[in-house]
Amino acid sequence: MKTINEFNFDGKRVLIRVDFNVPLDENFNVTDSNRIEAAKPTIDKVCADGGIAILVSHLGRPKGERNSKYSLEHIVSKASEILGKPVTFVHDCIGESVKDAVANAKKGDIILLENLRFYAEEEKGDETFAKDLGSIADFYINDAFGTAHRAHASTTIVAKFFPNDKCFGYLLAKEIESLDKVLHSKEKPVTAVLGGSKVSSKITIIENILDKIDHMVIGGGMAFTFIKALGGSIGNSLCEDDKLDLALDILKQAKEKNVTVHLPLDIVAADAFSADANTQIVNVNEIPDGWQGLDAGPKTLESLKPVILESKIILWNGPLGVFEIEKFANGTIQLGDFIAEATNNGTFSLVGGGDSVAAVKQFGLADKMSYVSTGGGAMLEMLEGRVLPGVKAIQD
């Protein structure tokens, strides 16, 4: 598979699928520009070579209808600022206005087309729409990891019209490489930290990675399903009662594959899910009735520190507690600090999944990790062992 560095885009019109699905405030100002910044190296390469960068993306869920609230026009000034040059906006993504804009563009220009999802054909993976989209370009780059798990017109179908003139952008290539490093590492030990609320949302990931890891840290709300399955008293803590047998089966499989499972030893229990709740530290299997576990306790964190520091590869997917409430954020912060220290000592750390990414950003840890994934759903599907349509379309 050729990388972007093996191509010269001089004089080429390059269709780049980016992920500019960024959050906006009530005045349509971009509140988090990470995704635009992440696409910059690919766009810079095309422009520096003397190509014309034609950017396509979706924004929000307009459900196949034009809605000014979801117009990509709102992000033009921020994109221009980050990319360091004016971005020409076109109020459509197919049709004559797009053809005219491309025809009038000069080498090194950047054009941003209107929200792809203003057309229902985008999400349907419509071939005619994809052909129209590709007709303005000589080359196709997919750099949108966040949508690589969707077989949409712009992420998958359009690639077939560029049989020999397509590649991954820097961002998408880096995402694949980082996940590959976790899933096929020769370095040991490999540790997966899985948190969040539900076991059910992580089952396929656990099943797929058990053969590839040495340690599995289970934290957050999902830990209580395991604790209850093992006979512990969990009070009012979150629990999937219909998954108790599954939890025991996961522990059995882990033992058979020599994977050490680390469950919480103690937790911060609260008498309400609230910032004003009363709290106490209790053993994880002795939570009183009326109380619920909302964060990892000190013994748990003490036991995890050496595991994290001795790991050569770490995957972090899910927080250890309700970090959004300051009172229950300590476990997630401490874990982040341990991973940051390990990373500083040469460990490869990959953070992915919405809550973990939000946590490392909130606590200023993102720059201390080896890689923070830009795609929640896409990353989870790769961890589950699935082939992403947007990735396969470039490899075919």
Residues placed in the known binding site for ATP: 202, 293, 324, 353-356
Q: Enter the tokens of residue 312.
A: 């050569």
What number of residues does the chain have?
A: 396
d(CA 181, CA 361): 23
| Residue 115 and residue 70 in contact, taking contact as beta carbons nearer than 8 Å | yes
* HEC-encoded secondary structure of 170-212: HHHHHHHHHHHHHHCCCCCCEEEEECCCCCCCCHHHHHHHCCC
Provide the annotated binding site for (2R)-3-phosphoglycerate: 35, 117, 150
Catalytic residue among 99, 354, 361, 386: 354
d(CA 66, CA 253): 50
Provide the annotated binding site: 19-21, 35, 58-61, 117, 150, 202, 293, 324, 353-356
Catalytic residue among 12, 13, 17, 35: 35
Q: Enter the tokens of residue 377.
A: 């759903």
Instruction: Provide the 10 A C-beta neighbour count for residue 304.
Output: 24
Q: Enter the tokens of residue 105.
A: 């563009």
Tokens 């512990």 belong to 232
Q: What phi and psi, each to the nearest 5 degrees, are found at residue 299?
A: -65, -40
Exposed/middle/buried for 85, CB within 10 Å: 0-12, 13-18, 19+? middle
- Among candidates 396, 358, 368, 372, which has minimal Cα distance to 156? 396
Catalytic residue among 99, 124, 131, 198: 198
| 64 carries an active-site annotation | no
Catalytic residue among 50, 64, 108, 377: 377
Provide the annotated binding site for substrate: 19-21, 35, 58-61, 117, 150
| Residue 369 and residue 339 in contact, taking contact as beta carbons nearer than 8 Å | yes
| 235 carries an active-site annotation | no
| 35 carries an active-site annotation | yes
SS3 60: coil
Q: Enter the tokens of residue 147.
A: 């949508």
Q: Any idea which residues carry the catalytic annotation?
A: 35, 198, 354, 377
